[in-house]
Structure 1
Amino acid sequence: MRYLFFFAPLLLLIAACEDKPEPTIDESIYAKVDPEDDARSRMIWQNPGAVMDAMGDIRERVIADIGAGEGFFAEKLAPIADRVIAVEIDQKYINYLDTLRNFSLPKEFRPRLEPRLAKPDDPMLEKSEVDIVLIVNTFMLIENKVDYLKKLYPALRSDGRIVIVDWKKKTTPIGPAKNDRLAIGELQDLLKEAGFHEVSSDDATLEYQYIVVADKKKPE
């Protein structure tokens, strides 16, 4: 009987650990450029591993992926983060993300991905709902950028951060027209105007894009 008392708590602990899947990192996100490859695969030029590194420790974090599209980042973030809110303004992408969640993600990770339909001028995030906001290849398309950033500000928790990845304002083999792009200096000014504090700016790691990280400005 005394063995039963010893093993029972151990079995309960094991069962509790099994209920919550461990975060998993797919090493393919750090894919290297192969000179022999046709090299226009997004896994190559986007270098998602570098973007996720800029986000910091995402375990147990709630992430809003603004402009999630077909889930390029959302699918990679969901197995690691606590929850990923995949924000889109087009119902067809919400439908695509629903399909991605139900058929591409392992069953235990599906509850972590939440597609959310938003408005072009409103991300539809609740106050203090997220730890990290990720915006990739999307910010340049937003019309009233400062107003949009000001709506993101209260959605971030006090220690939250925003990570924006967008196209360098120069001619590149892929990407939008140069005149449609937002220069990194302009983005830095917009973040400051919206009340954010710049943490880092990196226009060297990615071949075609820059990465800007900012957090909520602390009261003086």
Structure 2
Amino acid sequence: MSYKFNPKNKKKLDNIDRRRSLPPKETLEKLYLKEGDYIADIGCGIGYFTFPASDIVKSTGKVYAIDISQDMLQDVEEKINNKDIDNIQVIKGEISELKDNSVNYIFISNVLHEIDNKDKFFNDLKRVLQSNGRISIIEWKKIKMDIGPSLEHRVSQEWLKDKLFYIGFKDLEIININDNLYSVTGKL
């Protein structure tokens, strides 16, 4: 069974230390998100990346903020209403809720290690991503450290890159995010 983040700890998801080590807007730009993209933010949590993504894609793009936790999504919905943002759509559920070819960018941060059925998950990713669309997955480095999930729940960057290649992604690139996190990004 995989590790699952407890929504009761959601305050940990946005703090000054995290913003220093994982600045959301700069991270998304480093991972090639651009104006006009239609992005699925899978496992969006409290919207740590959702709102910076909304700023980047602007009114010509759209952000699908997807999470299985209504508690997390409630925070996102409150921020949307308070800021009167119209390019974010909140979806309670999983990636399977999206229609075929509905996005040109898939973003997943620190969620893959929580997925039980990775084969089904990857098939759904391919189904919703448009041809030549980009995927960027941020995960914990598979090294022992005091934060994040336990070592046995983490996925190595080599495994992730190989998996994406095997299912048809190309132009794969491993990007170092910080001392604890990496990203694999590529195109379908």
SS in 2 for 1:201: strand
For residues 146 and 132 of structure 1, do their structure 2 counterparts lie closer, same or farther at Cα, with a shift above 3 Å needed? same
Distance 2:109 2:173 in 1: 16
Unaligned runs of 5+ in 2: 1-14
Aligned to 2:65: 86
What residue is the counterpart of 1:114 in the other structure?
89
* Residue 173 (structure 2) aligns with: 200
Structure 1 counterpart of 2:164, from 182, 191, 195: 191
Q: CA RMSD in A?
A: 1.8
Asked if the contact 1:64/1:132 (under 8 Å) is kept, the reply is: yes
The equivalent residue for 1:144 is 117
Residue deviations 1:97-136, cap 9 Å, x none? 1112111x3x3xx1111110114xx431111111100000
Q: Which residue of 2 aligns with 1:75?
A: 51
Q: Does 1:48 align with 2:24?
A: yes
Task: Give the TM-score, by structure 2 length.
Answer: 0.83
Which structure has the larger Rg over C-alpha atoms?
A: 1
By how many angstroms is 1:198 displaced? 4.4
Contact 1:131 1:161 in 2 (8 A): yes
Structure 2 equivalent of residue 15 of structure 1: none
Q: 1:137 to 1:68 in 2, by over 3 A?
A: same
What percent identity do the matched residue pairs reach? Answer: 26
Aligned-pair distance for 1:79? Answer: 2.0
User: What is the TM-score when the length of structure 1 is the normalising length?
Assistant: 0.72
Q: Shift in Å at residue 170 of structure 1?
A: 0.6
Which structure has the higher relative contact order (CA within 8 Å, separation 6+)? 2
Check the 8 A contact 1:54/1:213 in 2, yes or no: no
Q: Unmatched 5+ residue regions in structure 1? A: 1-38
Paired residue total: 171
